[in-house]
Chains A and B, each alone.
Chain A
Amino acid sequence: MTTWDAIVIGAGHNGLVNACYLQRAGLNVLVVEKNDWIGGAAVSRELTPNYLYSNCSYVCSLFRPEIMRDLELPRFGLQVVPYEGGAVFTQDGDYLAAYHDHHAHRRDFARFSKKDAESYDRYARDVTRQCRFIQPLLLRTAPDPASFRPRDLGELIYLGRKFGELSAEELALTIRFWTMSISDFLDEYFETDVIKAYLAISGIIGTALGPMSPGTAYVLLHHYMGEVDGSVGAWGFARGGMGAITKALADSFRASGGTIRTEAEVDRVLIRNGRATGVVLADGEELKAKRVVSNADVKRTFLNFVAEDELPDSFVKSVRNFKMRGSSGKVNIALDSMPEFPALPKNSPCLQGDLHFTDTIERMERAYDDWKDGRWSADPMLDIVIPTTLDPTMVPPGKHFMSCFSQYCPPKVEGREWTDADRDAFAETVISQIADYSPGFRDRIVHMEVRTPREIENEVGLTEGNIFQGELTFDQLLFNRPVPGYAQYRSPVHGLYLCGSSTHPGGGVMGAPGRNAAKEILRDLSRPVKDMSPAHDVI
């Protein structure tokens, strides 16, 4: 029987990134995936003939370019195409557009308020300054502030120096950014409801908080610190859907000699004398390994795969307390023709960007109120993209795939489990909102995939369907993610590591947790990390 150098649980993007680096470093790595497809939440599946969906995640910005380069992902077909901008439709029949061109962007904001149009530069500067501060932390393991090991002290000094480089104003802004609500933050720059509503979207996506909840300003920052080919804050479509990312990772992994087993659901991690020695699959098969890396979230890993008596009580308590609340749903729609939005000018570039219908922060907050009451939002905040306006590979010419992300959607409906009838009723709130702005929309629908937190949890394995494997609030970031004292990808069980978004620097299709975890594993093996290029400079 083979004893693998490492078994990675879950073929999501972080699991595959981790496996690629380990395999390239000379380890013999097996990835086990419960589904008969790979990709986790970065997946493209054909659920109706000739239509490829980005079933979960749908746009790409955060995926680290260092990883694409190290793992030769372009060679395996990955191409990320930046998209234009977007629009929010207003209830009075107009829209607010965000455009790629700086001055076109300003002019559209100026249609609503000249002051806001000019405030945008100030706002963008402040956000960019904060991103420049945080971006270098993404590919670094967070220091343990309670440790006196030289590397932790070194990292703490690095953090301290970075703080030291900030001016007094910037430092004040940094602390405010990490603690404020996105609504309060935007109020300091803008006066127009729809402008604030558009900019607030990134503060609540995937988050069980409302735009008026403290902490949502940081969530916005998390969405801004990505890039497409050096264009910071830009978002793009992966050609072939988000599955193209995990497909390229899997091909890269196999090309370097790695093995992937699908339909291999892990039942538990084998532990002997406090040390992980392999996994037991749901069918009882035992797989031996010198170490186990879990791409599953921290709750699934330690509350499902590990016997509680193998873990310290305080650790289990912290894992239970880790906030990972389902707040989002998604409707993927196959369309037989391009939907029309009469409010937009013909051939508007906004159709190639993100589209929304929530034109005030108050409506967003009301949508959150429904979530608190255990219901999906009656008037949801939708984040819609039609990637097929730019990507010719997903559907036949003239046909389209529309991805509709919906905020908010509770993990349980008024305390009980979701039913199929609930799911259909949720989908109806999404469809009817779109149809209000797009006449004839329903007639274009060929097929729909509706995903509430129930489907996301059951299919992808994300607890409660939380897309970030844990809220991105400041109490759960850096050396507190996922659990204080265990923020360096290790766990109380020797040889059992975490590599998913539950760890620093958090969620989004970023790959950074997978890479950082690989670095720590190789450190434990005293192996050089020569195939891992240094993080790009922020200059």
Chain B
Amino acid sequence: MGLMRPALLSVAERKAAQGHIHKIKFDTPFQPRLDALMQTHEWYDWAGYRAPHSLWSEELEYFAIRSQSALFDISPMVKYRIEGPDAEAFCNRLTLRDVTKLKPGRVHYTAWCDDSGHVLDDGTLFRLTETRFRLCCQERHLPWLLDGAFGFNVTICEETEEVSGLALQGPTTCALLKAAGFDGIETLKPFDIRDFAHQDGTVTVSRTGFTGDLGYELFIDTRRALSLWDRLWDAGGPYGLRAIGYAALNTARIEAGLIVANADFITAETALRADRARLPDEIGLDWMVDLKKGPFNGRRAIEAARRDGKARFVLVGLEIEGNVPADQAIVYHRKKREVGLVTAAIWSPTAKRNIALATLERPYGDSILNDLWVEIYALRELQYTRLMKRAKVVPKPFVKLARRTQTPPGDF
């Protein structure tokens, strides 16, 4: 009974893993396919992996998401397997939402906090069976998970390298998957999970994504990963399938109003400056906090902060005059008082608006919404043009597409 820690590796296993230093930036299992498609040679470091920033054209890749099918390698995403008789109870104690309402074969977007109620990360919690969960996230949390598992009958394993992932996003993705032999995919509702046969094993498909569009995420045993890519690629031609890099995905996720840990907020365990940590209510995740369920990490602190009005910040969507993206711009009230910072900004090709995610210091963005401005320094041919543009707080997502939730989805 009780906590199961992963066994320490044997000498032989350790020695077999020594060679990692010969390749500082790891390859994902899909690297042979990405390398073959790579034309721009714009790589970036995603959690120690060599990942494409763009593959052939940053601008055009975005339109594969919104018009056809886009394939994005999500293998570097950190994954934990949480399994055992107490897995539900453990996850319910760990995270903000009510996990007892999450049925097997469903996934939900959630977040988890430390005892001060500060957000450690956000991510997706997959309930694969009654007693088996998978937590997908940006940062690493094994010590936090294992420490928190004390007293629960669960096993927790980090399985980032063992499980590979692909995001398939865009209006033709359902049709593409049907053509690739994923029979019955059209009955999958948003946040449903289903296993499909692949080779001698299975691939786990969820109707999820990071684009606000129709789309799926496919998780597979790393040993069978390449053949999954090939299966999608072979079927994808008629559906306009293109591989994309992070730049295109980032544009789509901002349109969808989705936040990225350590880009739009600083996670509690990485913050060097104590005042950078954020409550769920300060980064737009207040809706997740389920006070109707039992105890969970950070509950008391969140309740106290709400009671005492201690949530100092608010994360909002902004629509900004003009067409110059306001990356990292300071937000002002009455063009004078600094009240916040833009953390992500783009010209939205789909909304045809200049949009941004910003963190403002309350009451700005909360009860004071008028007379907000952003100061944009536009560098043009070695000269800054300083723009002071009016910003309006608007609801997120900036782009809402009916096809994201429509079941069965259309063919395009």
Q: Which residues of A contact B (CB under 8 A)?
A: 92-95, 97, 99, 101-104, 106-108, 110-115, 117-119, 121-122, 125, 128-129, 132, 166-167, 169-170, 189, 192, 345, 348-349
Which chain B residues lie closer than 8 Å to A106 at the CB level? 48, 140
Q: B143–A112 contact, CB under 8 A?
A: no
Residue B382 is within 8 A (CB to CB) of chain A in the complex = no
Interface string of B1-35 (1 = CB under 8 A from A): 00001101101011101111110111000000000
List residues of B whose CB falls within 8 A of some A CB: 5-6, 8-9, 11, 13-15, 17-22, 24-26, 45, 47-48, 116, 140-143, 146, 158, 269-272, 274
Closest to B143 in A: A119
With a CB–CB cut-off of 8 A, which chain B residues contact A345?
18-19, 21-22
CA separation between A94 and B8, bound complex, in Å? 14
A359 CB to closest chain B CB (Å) equals 12
* Least Cβ–Cβ distance between A338 and chain B, in angstroms: 18
What is the chain A residue whose CB lies nearest that of B115? A169
B11 touches A349 (CB 8 A): no
The binding surface of chain A is classed by DSSP as helix
For the complex formed, measure the closest distance between the CB of A473 and the CB atoms of chain B, giving whole angstroms: 27
Give the docked Cα–Cα distance between A128 and B17 (Å): 29
> Are A129 and B20 neighbours in the complex by a CB distance under 8 Å?
no
B270 with A93: CB separation less than 8 A? no
Known: A118-B143, A121-B269, A128-B272. A349 touches B8 (CB 8 A): no
Partner of A125, one of B14, B26, B270: B270
In whole angstroms, how far apart are the Cα atoms of A349 and B140 in the complex? 26
In the bound complex, CA of A94 to CA of B272 (Å)? 34
Known: A112-B8, A125-B270. A94 touches B14 (CB 8 A): yes
Q: Which of A93, A97, A106, A115 has most chain B Cβ within 10 Å?
A: A115
Closest beta carbon of chain B to A102's beta carbon, Å: 7
- Check B48–A115 contact: CB distance below 8 A: no
Would B6 and A114 count as touching, CB distance under 8 A?
A: yes
Residue contact B9 to A122, C-beta cutoff 8 Å: no
Quick check: B11 and A107 within 8 Å, CB to CB?
A: no
Can you list 26 A-B pairs with a CB-CB distance of less than 8 A? Answer: A93-B15, A94-B15, A95-B18, A102-B48, A103-B45, A103-B47, A107-B20, A107-B48, A110-B17, A111-B18, A112-B8, A112-B14, A113-B8, A114-B142, A115-B142, A115-B143, A118-B141, A118-B158, A121-B269, A122-B143, A122-B269, A129-B274, A169-B274, A170-B274, A345-B22, A348-B21
Q: Is the CB of A111 within 8 A of B14?
A: yes
Note all chain B residues with C-beta closer than 8 A to A349.
Answer: 21
**Judging by beta carbons under 8 Å apart, are B272 and A115 in contact?**
no
Bound complex: CA A92 to CA B18 (Å): 14
Q: A110-B17, A345-B19, A345-B21 are in contact. List 11 more A-B contacts (CB 8 A).
A: A95-B18, A104-B20, A106-B48, A119-B143, A121-B270, A125-B269, A169-B116, A189-B143, A345-B22, A348-B21, A349-B21
Give chain B residues whose Cβ lies under 8 Å from the Cβ of A169: 116, 274
In the complex, what's the smallest C-beta–C-beta distance from B27 to chain A, in angstroms? 13
Distance between Cα atoms of A122 and B269 in the complex (Å) = 6
